[in-house]
Amino acid sequence: MSAAFNDFNQKIIDEFHGNAGKVGGGFAGAAMLLLHTTGAKSGKPRTNPLVYSKDGDRYVIVASKGGAPTNPDWYHNLVANPAAAIEVGTEKIDVEARVATGEERDRLYAEHAKPMPAFLEYQQRAKRTIPVVVLTRKG
């Protein structure tokens, strides 16, 4: 991952922490969470800011990587280590990740894209089926 991308993410993370989970710029008004994973190869803690949607009491995130042809690192981390945590607003929640498939994946992706049509463009550009990950609160 490039240093510029890491800097971009770190600024969002800092703004998220400084404003009780709210961020501005291109993500103003978007539902944002911080995803805490364990590196699949390194075993190190990783944090990624992501737009989310909800399906009942579950959180839904999409491994779009802006329409890139490959999945983001955080996706590989969750597949390897599905136990994770998220920060939503000022709350930290332990979650279990599961990759949605078939009709569930398609429904969740369409719902996720409704308020954020860029995700429809990402799917067209990606030339892969973009994974949808469901995060369920533990306990």
Residues forming a β-bridge with 50? 33
Inform me whether the pLDDT recorded for 78 exceeds 80.
yes
- Are 111 and 60 within 8 A, CB to CB? yes
Instruction: Select the more confidently predicted residue: 48 or 5.
Output: 48
Q: How confident is the model at residue 9 (pLDDT cuts 50, 70, 90)?
A: confident
- Are 55 and 22 within 8 A, CB to CB? no
Distance of CA 102 to the CA centre of its chain: 19
Span 18-34, pLDDT tens digits: 998 888 888 888 899 99
Domain 3-137 sits in CATH at: 2.30.110.10
Rounded to the nearest 5 degrees, what angle is found at the Cα of 100, between the Cα atoms of 74 and 136? 70
11-20, 85-94, 99-108: segment of lowest average pLDDT = 11-20
Span 105-118, pLDDT tens digits: 999 999 999 998 99
Average pLDDT over residues 47-63: 97
pTM, to two decimals: 0.92
